[in-house]
Amino acid sequence: MTFHIPPHRPKTPGAQAFLTDAPKKLLIANEWHDAAGGGTFATHDPASGALLAQIAEGTTADAGSAVAAARAALSDPAWRDMKPSQRGRLLWTIADLIEAHADELAELETLDQGKSWATSRMAEIPAAAEQFRYYAGFANKILGQTIPTSIGYHPPGKKIFAYTAREPVGVVAAITPWNSPLLMAAMKLAPALCAGCTVVLKPAEETSLTALRLGELLIEAGLPAGVVNIVTGFGAVVGAHLTAHRDVDKVAFTGSTEVGRMIVAAAQGNLKKLTLELGGKSPAIVMPDADLDLALPGVARGIFANSGQVCVAGSRAYVHSSLHDAFVEGLAREASRLRLGHGLDSDTDLGPLVSAGQAARVAAYVDEGKADGADIAAGGTRLGADSAFFSPTVVAGVRPDMRLMREEIFGPVIAVTTFDEPEEALAHANDTDYGLAASVWTQDLSAAHRLAAGIRAGTVWINCHSYFSPELPKGGHGESGWGYENGAQGLENYLETKTVCAVI
Ligand code: ADP
């Protein structure tokens, strides 16, 4: 089957004005620049293959200029001395601007990444605004403590007065992936700005458009020059330079475990602080008493949303053997109901993957599983040789040693197998180097919380999968990462503690 999707011209005036023939530029110190050397690269609509824009191909020199601008902004009184409530207002204004431009941002996101309009417009763009609103309220509540001390070697008649102050960690390199571009950028920018840091943002090369449009909105919001700089370009050049740069104090990264390891190595030079949100292979455990009316659409959404290109996607299901056949049949039904098409078409449930290359990668996993004897209960096909579309796929009879069960596929593919005892389900769930997320489907409260306690993962959902909110810390155990995003913990990653101790 081949999919021919005609090119979509942008409909919103904002996206039309943004997608002109002129190449998109880098943002350094609130000015838009061509890349040093003038290079550009193309970004395409993955559904139709149409060219969307040329984008400045940042160099190491550009990354260096952006870091210098961020370093200078850190001690610029316009930013350093901004009152906390003013920083909060600025974050709130950014949220207002994202909401005011939500239609065009959603259109740009869908054109560039492929995801459905509903996912962009109803979920991710509002969630990006919500990140700024959440941290807006924190900006004037970042507090130190006064601390009574116990050791008494101060001069007679004197006493110790000690307190802590919280300070921004400094210049942050924020490196984001292509699956949820604006939301991932917001998850780093909002806490960084709340803490008073300055940022160099490097969006994924496949999906830079909404970050660049956000750059325009940040200027409109009144962010002082150099506080946020955006350098588009390739990870091996711009990303690698930022992660090794001695004037970058912290890297906030979301992406693959493989690149996460490279960043750990690159960051050694000046021992940068790191937060790494990496890969996952999140299990869904379906207990014998699970309510299938809830579990089937819930597990389906957990794997097929955004075509499976979600770090926490529930990509392996362990189903009690008493429910297995009904579950596989039901999940296959859910999968085959999903309509594929251009993300901007109103009857589309699932768009393409981010690129034809990603669809080929997914196809290779499924073909290998088939060759190893797994059963394709639904989907399993790439829609055309050069297409970025892959049908929602349910694979049953997957053994624990198969790559389908072990590796992050980042596509709409779920591997299913059975268990008989809860301990067995738990052992399967934890049989992974990852530890990002999991879901448990049961009506038995005790069983749900016992499983939640036993699963090694940063997030466990009960009777849902992929529920997010800026209040909820999100991070990975094991090789799924270091540190947390969101919530009060997410802010901690952008702050240092200074202890001041005085004899008075
Ligand atoms: P994914 O393909 O899952 O999005 P990647 O880990 O390949 O994840 O990419 C995530 C981000 O990391 C992208 O912005 C990419 O450009 C960037 N990146 C890739 N290689 C490097 C590297 N060596 N150093 C720093 N950043 C990199």
Residues 6+ apart with CB under 8 A from 94: 132, 190, 217, 218, 221, 223
Active site residue 311: yes
Residues 6+ apart with CB under 8 A from 228: 27, 189, 193, 198, 199, 201, 215, 218
Tell me the two tokens of residue 225.
Answer: 């020059």
* Distance in Å, CA 121 to ligand 1 centroid: 25
Residues in the chain: 504
* Distance in Å, CA 127 to ligand 1 centroid: 23
Q: Is the dihedral of CA 333, 337, 342, 344 positive or negative?
A: negative
Active site residue 57: no
- 458 and 480 Cβ atoms separated by less than 8 Å: yes
* Distance in Å, CA 177 to ligand 1 centroid: 7
Specify the residue with its C-alpha closest to ligand 1, atom 25.
239
pLDDT at 2: 57
User: Would you say the CB of residue 262 lies under 6 angstroms from ligand 1?
Assistant: yes
Candidates 124, 205, 311, 334; catalytic one: 311
Among 243, 259, 309, 312, which is best to mutate for testing ligand 1, by the most ligand atoms less than 8 A from CB?
Answer: 259
What's the Rg (C-alpha) of the chain? 24
Cα 207 from chain centroid? 13
- Identify any residues that bridge with 200 across adjacent strands, giving them in sequence order: 173, 229
User: What 8-state DSSP symbol labels residue 35?
Assistant: P
Candidates 104, 107, 277, 485; catalytic one: 277
Specify the residue with its C-alpha closest to ligand 1, atom 4.
177
User: Would you say the CB of residue 255 lies under 6 angstroms from ligand 1?
Assistant: yes
Task: Tell me if residue 339 falls in helix, strand or coil.
Answer: coil
* Number of the ligand 1 atom closest to the C-alpha atom of 240: 24
Side-chain half-sphere of 75: how many Cα atoms within 13 Å?
Answer: 3
pLDDT at 155: 85
User: Would you say the CB of residue 241 lies under 6 angstroms from ligand 1?
Assistant: no
Return the amino acid letter for 474.
K
- 46 and 114 Cβ atoms separated by less than 8 Å: yes
* Number of the ligand 1 atom closest to the C-alpha atom of 204: 14
Task: Tell me if residue 365 falls in helix, strand or coil.
Answer: helix
Per-residue pLDDT of the chain (504 residues; tens, 9 = 90+): 457 788 998 999 999 999 998 999 999 999 999 999 899 999 999 999 999 999 999 999 999 999 999 999 999 999 999 999 999 999 999 999 999 999 999 999 999 999 999 999 999 999 999 999 999 999 999 999 999 999 877 788 899 999 999 999 999 999 999 999 999 999 999 999 999 999 999 999 999 999 999 999 999 999 999 999 999 999 999 999 999 999 999 999 999 999 999 999 999 999 999 999 999 999 999 999 999 999 999 999 999 999 999 999 999 999 999 999 999 999 999 999 999 999 999 999 999 999 999 999 999 999 999 999 999 999 999 998 889 999 999 999 999 999 999 999 999 999 999 999 999 999 999 999 999 999 999 999 999 999 999 999 999 999 999 999 999 999 999 999 999 999 999 999 999 999 999 999
Closest alpha carbon to 284 in 432, 435, 421, 460? 460
Specify the residue with its C-alpha closest to ligand 1, atom 15.
235
User: Would you say the CB of residue 355 lies under 6 angstroms from ligand 1?
Assistant: no
User: Would you say the CB of residue 369 lies under 6 angstroms from ligand 1?
Assistant: no
Distance CA 380, CA 397 (A): 14
